[in-house]
Amino acid sequence: MKTVFTEEELKSIEDHKLLPLPSLSATVKDFFEKFKGKNNVDNLWEVADGSRFHPGRDFDADWAKRSILDILSAYRWGTLSTVAQSGGERDLIMLVWRSIDTSYQNIYVNTLRSDQQTSSGSARANEDRLALDGSIKPKIQSVKPDLILTKEHLEFGAAEHGFDDESGVGEKELNETYTKLPKTMKDMMMKLAASVDYDETTMRSLRVVGLVHSHLRMTAYVMDIPDGYVCRIRKIKEQTIPSSLSDFYNTYIPFLEVVLKVKGIVKTTMETIENYKAGKEGRNRSGYESVIPTSNMLMVPSALNMPPKTTPKKRKTGPQVEDS
């Protein structure tokens, strides 16, 4: 990028109409501060176990407490170190990254890890399924993220998982970070835009989140449409969880902070869509609808469709055509 833009231009692109990251509640901040300077597993456990939060009113703090107690147990018995050395992707999901899933319970967002394609990706991959001669082409299977954040048929984020690579950053991580995840996020953004009738003012407030987990590292990404019709992706500082207990306040606590900030973005986007729909009530409830775009509509081009590839036939099902 530096061969195309100057540093000043890149800085301007990064900061242009950038929406701030959500703030943590005072209760959560105060709870996290209690761990400062403590690195003994028993002392850390006493701080977490001795804190009391209402599971409804103080959900985020209660979730953080439960996550901390779980990871401290993994540190105490050496479970995390063992899994980091000889476990697989699913082992790390169950031991470490599942705390991401449980953080969304109180806003009723489903966290799907069932190896399924996104509805937004399927819509994009099959948008030209009806041929000019009236025939219907075989359905193309879109990519399947390792995690989908969804509620009421809308998708707000996705995640990709990988394990350790001897080179530090492997081909799988590079492909998922710079190709697969951005396309998935844009597919989701397009469906969110359609849910608000492509209203430009509302679309400027929409954000889609993405996560990449590689072994014990996690990087979060945020996509928005700050101006024009170009989607921008901003990276949140990478977090690394040590395999053995070390500097807990500056390692695991920042990971929890990022998870809550990403959750806050999802919640804000949901509220933006709900507010738009509430403002539509009473307007043209049952009249004719024009196909002519209005001046306040913003049409953003979808992600590019790559040439489909056919996978070998499996049992009685026909060959599967996949989007790449």
pLDDT in tens, 282-295: 677 778 877 787 77
pLDDT at residue 165 above 70? no
Q: Which residue has the higher pLDDT, 306 or 265?
A: 265
What's the pLDDT at 132?
A: 80
pLDDT tens, residue by residue, 132-150: 888 888 888 888 999 999 9
- Write the secondary structure of the chain as one string of H (helix), E (strand) and C (coil): CCCCCCHHHHHHHHHCCCCCCCCCCHHHHHHHHCCCCCCCHHHHHHHHHCCCCCCCCCHHHHHHHHHHHHHHHHHHCCHHHHHHHHCCHHHHHHHHHHHHHHCCHHHCCEEECCCCCCHHHHHHHCCCCECCCCCECCCEECCCCCEEEEECCEEEEEEEEECCCCCCCCHHHHHHHHHHHHHHHHHHHHHHHHHCCCEHHHHCCCCEEEEEEECCEEEEEEEECCCCCCCEEEEEEEEECCCCCCCHHHHHHHHHHHHHHHHHHHHHHHHHHHHHHHHHCCCCCCCCCCCCCCCCECCCCCCCCCCCEEECCCCCCCCEEECC
Question: What is the pLDDT confidence band of residue 50, given thresholds at 50, 70 and 90?
Answer: very high
* Section 236-259 average pLDDT: 97
What's the pLDDT at 287?
A: 84
pLDDT at residue 18 above 90? yes
